[in-house]
Structure 1
Amino acid sequence: MARKKIIIDTDPGIDDILAILLALSATPEEVEVLLISLTFGNIEVKNCLCNVVSMFHILEREVQWRRANGHPEGFGTLRAFRPVVAVGAEDPLEDQKMLADYFHGKDGLGGIHTSHPHLTPSQAWEHLFDPTVDPDGIQPVQTGAGTGDHSFIPSKKPAHQEILRTLRENEPDTVTLVAVGPLTNLALAAAQDPETFLRVKEVVVMGGVVNIPGNVTPMGEFNSYADAVAAARVFALTSPNPHTTLPPTKSAHLPPYPATLSRQLTLRLFPLDITQRHNLSRGEFRATITPLLNAGSPLAEWVSAFMAHTFRTLEALHPGHIGDDAQLSLHDPVCVWYALTAEDPHWMPSVTSPEDIRVETLGQWTRGMCVVDRRNRHRIEGDVESSSDHGLWLSRRAGNRIWRMDKSPAEATFGRIILQKLFG
């Protein structure tokens, strides 16, 4: 089986970090992480960068610790390949910015950089991402664990440009883009060069909600709410006629797509409907992490610190999430797991896929809502609006074509699966 190539567009974030760790824990035969592109979302993008650099710092220390104690080193793909790290969007395309620091903490990891400063590297790496300092320079970086391994390649270019570069440098249909934050970087890349963007094999999106309540408004999931215009623009590329679902925009730098595109985007949507069924309990986590903490694992100490904050927050926000029964939904790791195991026949889309799912961008109470047509009406062949079909919902030539994922190989055991992958 050919090695998979993936881009992770992310706003780390607690479950984002778990998702990245899951990808990097794979073997080099399984996957190569080409790029980690960062966006605002759960927190400000500068804090996302700090969290990713800290993650690489901890992984270097963890591999060194495992080697010294005779444990399998793991994280083979990280040791075989150096992902590029690029900083992207600081703000949504048009909407007022909303962050999720109420859940993740101001720094995105429950205040870990203040409470556990010995787990955070010095800030000497910041200039490596500063475009005003040697803007053409690009070099691998060692974050200070002393292992001799270079962890990542910093880029001084905006993340959306790095997404396009990565897609240009790889054959069409060989790179999967896993997007687990607001879709701003993707929308910017698609606006700048839609044909290059469409070289992607598929885009795997954690976002939206269809048949259950939202998590930031009654109808809205965080990622789709945080930049509804970006989500709507990316979704529109799945349409045979993207102009039929492209949202109205006030931004001059967001032109309409060309009238003719070479292909439609394949987009796999993982809404809350499926991701909320994949959980990790505090009891499962504690049973795995306690012996590793006692043995001195740097990764166990780091993850345990921000997960303690997470479970306390869950207790405060959700009735019934108490003690070992508290459950963290693994929204973002599910998407990475799909990218790693997409050939498993137990991954299944909804029976109605591909579906015409559109993102509401203008509503006062419905921003970010995933709208579907629940009317039982005949489809029509025309592509001109009529009084009986405002919005071209019934046209066979219009509308989006979203593959909404509905079933996975192991919903009930995914928490244990990710613990095993990360900690062995």
Structure 2
Amino acid sequence: MTEKLLVIDTDCGIDDAQAILVALAASHVRVLAVTCVFGNAAVDDVCQNVFKVLAVGQQEQIPVFRGSARPLLGTATTNDPCDHFGTDGLGDVLEDREPRWEEKIQKEHAVSAMLRLVEEYPGQVTLIALGPLTNLALAVKLDPSFPGKLKELYIMGGNIEGKGNVSPCTEFNFAMDPEAAYVVLEEFLCPTYLASWEYACKNALTWEFFEELTSQDTAASRFMKSVTSRCWAFSQEALSEKRDVHFGPGFVSFDSYAVAACVDAGVVAESVRCPVRVELQGAMCRGMMALDRVGRLNKKHSVTVFTKCHKDRLARLLLESLRQPPKNPDAGK
């Protein structure tokens, strides 16, 4: 299988951590860089979290770049970390935070690193966006030809049924920077694949599988068990009506749905292809993504939006990401 070159843009919370481990475990994948953006936590915490995940995955040679600390306009106000992933993004359980992360972080800004890497590997880089799309929007504004140099783009974010998780109609990643989401889905004309919030929720795995996943006798499994131990999203309260009002009970590692589709296209069972647009107006709809299935937007560019996955293949990737011995970090170089 041809080696797949990835750049992962992340706001590294708990589900990002699991998703990154899926990418690290894929034998045909080489992660060129991880770029950080605010979102589940402040960007400095995100950077520290990424270093921790790379250490767990035994691939600390991957360069990490600090990116945007705030949205394109104003300030981010939709996140209440105390109710979800804690103040640090990984559940506030880690005692061995990375004390010297500022010495390890690359001096180059994340956006500059993105632009440079696609020049070095023209037409070969797959970009995976797991957080707010601020870094991507800045990249295309600095270099409008940037999307055309990518092989493809995978996004975890947005919604397709008007059901939100931070507002009545808006998903978290898009709500954190609606203008960035709008720019990316208007100006990135490369092949684009989107795993929405509803897609992840409707293809939930069982809580019995979650117990199996986090009870393996490996360092990575113990890490995931630790960071989910105090997290509201992974507690018994998650089984209540508060959590499952839209889609019913189940374990959902949101960002893993985008990464899984990227490393194994067979994970996706069904999808729709159509133009999309992000709404920027309204008290309830700002940041909502609309699918144009009737051609009213007059857009030539369409996005592939996932709707159904083969959950057995997804589950296998998640299990392998926490149990496989790390691949040779120098393989494929």
Superposition deviation, residue 308 in structure 1 = 1.8
Task: Name the counterpart of 1:218.
Answer: 168
Q: Does 1:187 align with 2:187?
A: no
Q: Which has the larger radius of gyration?
A: 1
Task: Name the counterpart of 1:144.
Answer: none
Q: Does 1:89 align with 2:39?
A: no
In structure 2, stretches of 5+ residues that fail to align are 325-333
Q: Does 1:359 align with 2:282?
A: no
Q: What SS is found at the alignment partner of 1:194? A: coil
Kept after mapping to 1: 8 A contact 2:159/2:198: yes
Task: Name the counterpart of 2:101.
Answer: 125
Q: What SS is found at the alignment partner of 1:211? A: coil
Superposition deviation, residue 399 in structure 1 = 6.1
CA-based RMSD of the aligned residues comes to 2.5
Superposition deviation, residue 121 in structure 1 = 5.0
328 and 212 in structure 1: CA distance in 2 versus 1, 3 angstrom threshold: farther
Q: Does 1:415 align with 2:315?
A: yes
Superposition deviation, residue 267 in structure 1 = 1.4
Task: Name the counterpart of 1:252.
Answer: none
Identity rate, percent? 29
Task: Name the counterpart of 1:40.
Answer: 38
Superposition deviation, residue 266 in structure 1 = 2.0
Q: Does 1:328 align with 2:251?
A: yes
Q: Does 1:308 align with 2:232?
A: no
Distance in 2 of aligned mates of 1:312 and 1:267: 28
303 and 210 in structure 1: CA distance in 2 versus 1, 3 angstrom threshold: same
Distance in 1 of aligned mates of 2:4 and 2:254: 21
Distance in 1 of aligned mates of 2:118 and 2:233: 41
Distance in 1 of aligned mates of 2:130 and 2:220: 22
1:305-348 deviation line (CA, Å, top 9, x unaligned): 112223665533552579xx963312211111111123x39544
Distance in 2 of aligned mates of 1:329 and 1:291: 18
Equivalent of 2:303 in 387, 399, 402: 402
Q: What SS is found at the alignment partner of 2:146? A: helix
- Normalising by structure 2, report the TM-score: 0.86
- Normalising by structure 1, report the TM-score: 0.69
Which residue type is aligned with residue 231 of structure 1?
A
Which residue type is aligned with residue 267 of structure 1?
T
Superposition deviation, residue 357 in structure 1 = 1.2
Q: How does 1:131-150 map to 2 (within 5 A)?
A: none
In structure 1, stretches of 5+ residues that fail to align are 61-77, 130-154, 239-263, 380-392
Kept after mapping to 2: 8 A contact 1:167/1:197: no
Task: Name the counterpart of 1:388.
Answer: none
Distance in 2 of aligned mates of 1:345 and 1:301: 25
Corresponding residue pairs, total:
318
Distance in 1 of aligned mates of 2:108 and 2:198: 35
Distance in 1 of aligned mates of 2:224 and 2:29: 23
Q: What SS is found at the alignment partner of 1:43? A: coil
Distance in 2 of aligned mates of 1:406 and 1:186: 24
1:147-191 deviation line (CA, Å, top 9, x unaligned): xxxxxxxx111111111111010022x111010100000001110
Superposition deviation, residue 56 in structure 1 = 2.7
**Higher RCO, Cα 8 Å, sep 6+:** 2
419 and 219 in structure 1: CA distance in 2 versus 1, 3 angstrom threshold: same
95 and 402 in structure 1: CA distance in 2 versus 1, 3 angstrom threshold: farther
Which residue type is aligned with residue 89 of structure 2?
G
Superposition deviation, residue 359 in structure 1 = 0.4
Which residue type is aligned with residue 54 of structure 1?
K
Superposition deviation, residue 373 in structure 1 = 4.4
Q: What SS is found at the alignment partner of 1:104? A: coil
